[in-house]
């Protein structure tokens, strides 16, 4: 395992109009002077958590690998949403576990960001981050992180601003050993 290329997997809820618009702006910035990033691999998700399962399975089957991921969805404490369906820590431990998704992030020290409102907020934020880390970061380690507060999208450049928010990190060593939590 070596540090990976700066390649970003951008998974977003294509069934939610506001998320799809933000994702589109991220790929096609509308501000003068911004160029189209070439290292982003966009994956629109239709069909809720089953649609996410199909997309992740295809990425594994195709031998794709990434050093970073952005899951862009609506969120709440300990949940992300695809097609209006909630995905929690329990969902990661059952529905998405043992499917080889760690091969998508086999490089050292990968980073996975869940960009949704209040995803890392108590009481369930840590559970989601830890479960996702156990599914995705078993090989190369890294961090899964999210914000504790609501976000406000900028449809010109695709960024979402979380004013006054803390960022919570679930940190993993290569080999799948959980190292702990950090908040910044």
Q: Which domain holds residue 45?
A: 8-183
The pLDDT tens digits for 81-100 are 999 999 999 999 999 999 99
Three-state SS annotation for the chain: CCECCCCEEEEEECCCHHHHHHHHHHHCCCCCCCCCCCCEEEEEECCHHHHHHHHHHHHHHCCCCCCEEEEECEEECCEEEECCEEECHHHHHHCCCCCCHHHHHCCECEEEEEECCCCCCCCCHHHHHHHHHHHHCCCCCEEEEEECCCCEECCCCCCEECCCCCEEEEEEECCCEEEEEEEC
Residue 17 lies in a domain: yes
Residue 174 pLDDT grade (very low, low, confident, very high; cuts 50, 70, 90): very high
Residue 157 lies in a domain: yes
Residue 1 lies in a domain: no
Q: Is the dihedral of CA 138, 142, 143, 144 positive or negative?
A: negative
Residue 137 lies in a domain: yes
Contact 60, 100 (CB under 8 A): yes
The pLDDT tens digits for 39-89 are 889 999 999 999 999 999 999 999 999 999 999 999 999 999 999 999 999
Residue 42 lies in a domain: yes
Backbone phi, then psi, for 50, in 5-degree steps?
A: -70, -35
Distance CA 64, CA 101 (A): 10
Residue 3 lies in a domain: no
Other beta carbons within 10 angstroms of residue 29's beta carbon come to 16
> What CATH number is attached to the domain comprising 54?
3.40.50
Q: What is the maximum span of the chain, computed from C-alpha positions, in angstroms? A: 45
Residue 2 lies in a domain: no
State percent of the chain over pLDDT 70: 91
Domain count, the chain: 1
Distance CA 150, CA 50 (A): 26
């Amino acid at each position: 395992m070596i540090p990976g290329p700066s390649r970003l997997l951008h998974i977003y809820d294509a069934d939610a109009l506001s998320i799809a618009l933000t994702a589109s702006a991220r790929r096609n910035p509308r501000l003068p002077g911004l160029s189209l990033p070439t290292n982003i691999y966009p994956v629109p998700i239709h069909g809720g958590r089953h649609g996410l399962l199909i997309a992740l399975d295809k990425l594994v089957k195709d031998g794709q690998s990434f050093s970073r991921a952005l899951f862009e969805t609506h969120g709440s404490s300990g949940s992300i949403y695809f097609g209006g369906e909630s995905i929690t820590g329990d969902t990661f431990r059952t529905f998405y576990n043992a499917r080889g998704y760690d091969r998508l992030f086999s490089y050292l020290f990968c980073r996975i960001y869940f960009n949704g409102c209040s995803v890392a907020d108590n009481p369930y934020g840590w559970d989601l981050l830890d479960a996702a880390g156990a599914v995705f970061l078993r090989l190369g380690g890294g961090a899964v992180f999210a914000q504790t507060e609501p976000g406000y999208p900028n449809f010109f450049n695709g960024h979402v601003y979380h004013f006054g928010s803390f960022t919570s990190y679930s940190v993993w060593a290569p080999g799948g050993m959980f190292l702990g939590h950090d908040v910044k």
